[in-house]
Amino acid sequence: MAYTLGEAAKASGKSKATISKAIKSGRLSAVKQDTGVFRIEAAELHRVYPKTVDGNQDRTPQTVSQTLENTPSVKELQARLEAVQERLTDRDTVIADLREDRDRWRQQATALLADQRPVPQPVTEPAPQPDQPVVQPPKGFWKRLFG
């Protein structure tokens, strides 16, 4: 009997990644088919990973019953789910309100900034007097730096 990677993982109680790593490292031998699917012989799998029953082989009946006692019931889980959904709805409402406030503040700030900005006046240079010589600024960087 040969297992696929997923079947081998279920039979051994390990993850598919663990089985794949064991194959790649050479600890576990497998045949890779043309389709890319691994075929792992049962004897080879259980040589490396002893057979388990639903991953509960190492549990005693006492620990299994204790685990069942501690698991929440379906009604309790539904109640928790409803509470979480209600909290999410409340948070969505708060987020929507905060976004509205932000947009209002942004509009108000934009309007205030528009009112406070000075109107730019055209810059006019005084016309040179006919009796004063026209002074040209130095052209190059070094001339401007050192005069």
Q: What CATH number does residue 46 fall under?
A: 1.10.1660
Q: Does residue 29 belong to any structural domain of this protein?
A: yes
pLDDT given at position 95: 94
For residue 12, being part of any structural domain is answered with yes
- Residue among 36, 48, 37 at smallest CA distance from 11: 48
Domain that holds residue 12: 2-55
Say if 141 falls within a structural domain: no
In a domain, 145, yes or no: no
Q: Is residue 106 part of a domain?
A: yes
Which sign, positive or negative, has the C-alpha torsion 10, 15, 76, 59?
A: positive
What is the Cα–Cα distance from 58 to 52, expressed in whole angstroms? 8
How many domains are contained in the chain? 2
Q: Is 45 inside any structural domain?
A: yes
- Global pTM reads 0.36
Across residues 25-30, what is the average pLDDT? 91
pLDDT digits (tens, 9 = 90+) for 89-121: 999 999 999 999 999 999 999 988 887 766 667
